[in-house]
Every structure is written in C-alpha cells, then in structure tokens.
Amino acid sequence: MNPLNTLGAFQNAFAQALMAPHSTNTAENIAALAAQPGFAVYRNTVMKGCIDALQANYPAVARLTGEEWFRAAAAIYVRETLPDDPTLLRYGASFAAFLARFEPACEMAYLPGVARLDRLWTESHIARDEATLDTTMIANLAPEKMAVAVLYPHAAARWAWFADAPIYSIWSRNRAGHFGENDVWEPAWKAEGALLTRMHGAVEWIELNAAGCAFLDACAAGATLAQAANAIRAAMPEASGADLQQVMRALLQAGAFNRISITRSRKS
C-alpha cells in the first residue's frame, strides 16, 4: 500500500518537504509534487510569513542590523524553530537566545539584550487587562502594616537589568526610530535597566535603576515590603531612605503594580 494514501502520511511528507528542500528522504509522490514550480510558492509563503512575523516582533533589532541582515538571520532561525502557535505575535520567544549564540552577531554584543526588550514589549502588549494600584493605597497604609505588606506587579509590567551595556538607551532609541540613517550616536557605556508598563492602553517604558529592578524582582517573588527594601540595599548598598522612597514613587507612577495585600502579616 502506498503510504501517501492516507491524509496523515501525505501531511507528514509534505511538511517535511516544505522545510527540507534538498532532503533525499522525501517520499516519491511528494518528491514529484515538490518538483512542480508551484511547490516553491508554499515554501516561500511559509518562510516569508515567519520572517515577517519576526521582523514585526523584533523591530528594534531589525532597525539596528538593517533589514537585509535581519531577514537573513531570521531565515536561519526559522529553519531551527518553526512557530508552535498560530498567533505569530508570540513567535520567536527564543530569538534573543539564538542571537546570543549566532556567530555573525558576535560583534553586536548588545543585540540579545535589545531582542529581550522587544520581547518584553510584546509580553506587555498582550498581557491581560487589570487595574493599576492606586497610589493613595500606599500613602494611607498604617506604618506598622507597611513592612509586612506585599506589592503585586501588574500583569503587563516587565522589567530587566543589563549590567554590561546601555541596552535601554540603545533599545528605546531604535524602538522609537526617530532618527536619520546618518545620525551619529554613541551611548554612554553604562549598566541600565528598563521598565515597561501599560497604564494607558499602549505600552510605555522608562529607564529603571538596579534598585528598582531588584525591588520588582523581590515583589514578584512574593517578598514583603521590608524584604523588598532589603533587596534594594543589596543591589545598591549606598541607597538611603530617600532613594528607597524615590524608587517606590517611580514604580508607582509608572503603574508597575496591580494591588497591595497585607493578608500575609505576622505569619511567622
């Protein structure tokens, strides 16, 4: 019996031939199909659909590398990692990791970090809707409850700290794209962090220091405010009480939190 006589066998062989143009394992009937000029239309459409999606999902990376370089790199990624989800907005979760080990990108060491921020933008963009913490909730909190309260990051809040390069500056400039091709720009080479939030519909972003990132990391892990404040001191040993307040204010103003809870108080 010809194995291609079943629908599933046809689809196995067809899918294989789509992504492996030079494979010698292709079943005879599919090889005959793949030899027709029209087969390239399917190959090209699948490849173009994946590359277009990556370019749409990683616009700051594409702006930095130029379109031609980006699409060539993306084609290599597509051959390794086809989409597993028809919502292509989510495609390319491992693209930053790919760039980190992609030999031709080694001279652009900032590229994986920029890709990571493009990815965090997407995650923030599609996260569920929820309320942003009313800042007066904190102001009205009794001092004895403050230390044991837990702040919950907003579903659309994303943050990252980059110790080696000014990734936030590079990313935000290229994400916005408001500059000419020949503009010369050299960022001050320093560690930077980023916070992305969605307070007013669209994703917004600000630069965030190490203390802010450490604080959010601690909150996301379920730490009390007292524990999160310790995390700030660990990340920024020189931090004063005023610094701590400033970090809190910046995070609250940016809409980084959804709610505050004091239900875990005095458990220990």
Rounded to 5 degrees, φ, ψ at 225 are: -60, -35
Q: 86 or 143, CB closer to other proteins?
A: 86
Residue 101 carries which DSSP code?
A: T
Q: Is 141 in the site for other proteins (CB under 8 A)?
A: no
How far apart CA 11 and CA 8 sit, in angstroms, is: 5
Binding mask 160-199 for other proteins (x = CB under 8 A): --------------------------------------x-
Which residue shows structure tokens 């940016």? 254
- The residues in 46-65 that bind other proteins, with binding defined as CB under 8 A, are 46, 49-50, 53
**CA atoms within 13 A of residue 183's CA, in its CB half-sphere:** 11
Sheet with 192-200, edge to edge strand ranges: 158-162, 192-200, 202-208
> Which residue stretch of 83-91, 161-169, 227-235, 240-248 sits at the interface with other proteins (rule: CB under 8 A)?
83-91
Residue among 109, 123, 114 nearest 63 (CA): 114
Do 31 and 47 contact (CB within 8 A), yes or no? Answer: no
> Residue 173 corresponds to which tokens in the numbers above?
């400039």
Q: How far is the CB of 202 from other proteins (least distance, A)?
A: 6
Binding mask 4-33 for other proteins (x = CB under 8 A): xxxxx-xxx-xx--x----------x---x
Q: How far is the CB of 87 from other proteins (least distance, A)?
A: 5
Q: 18 or 146, CB closer to other proteins?
A: 18
Q: How far is the CB of 36 from other proteins (least distance, A)?
A: 5
Burial class (CB within 10 angstroms; exposed 0-12, middle 13-18, buried 19+) of 87: exposed
Which residue shows structure tokens 């930053």? 96
- Count residues near other proteins (CB under 8 A): 44
Rounded to 5 degrees, φ, ψ at 204 are: -120, 160
Q: 97 or 126, CB closer to other proteins?
A: 126
Do 60 and 175 contact (CB within 8 A), yes or no? Answer: yes
> Which residue stretch of 42-50, 63-71, 102-110, 167-175 sits at the interface with other proteins (rule: CB under 8 A)?
42-50
- The residues in 199-258 that bind other proteins, with binding defined as CB under 8 A, are 201-202
How far apart CA 81 and CA 55 sit, in angstroms, is: 15
Q: Is 89 in the site for other proteins (CB under 8 A)?
A: yes
> Which residue stretch of 119-127, 166-174, 178-186, 214-222 sits at the interface with other proteins (rule: CB under 8 A)?
119-127
Q: Is 93 in the site for other proteins (CB under 8 A)?
A: no
Residue 134 carries which DSSP code?
A: P
Q: Is 45 in the site for other proteins (CB under 8 A)?
A: yes
What residues make contact with other proteins under the rule CB under 8 A?
A: 4-8, 10-12, 14-15, 18, 29, 33, 36-39, 41-42, 45-46, 49-50, 53, 82-89, 124-130, 155-156, 198, 201-202
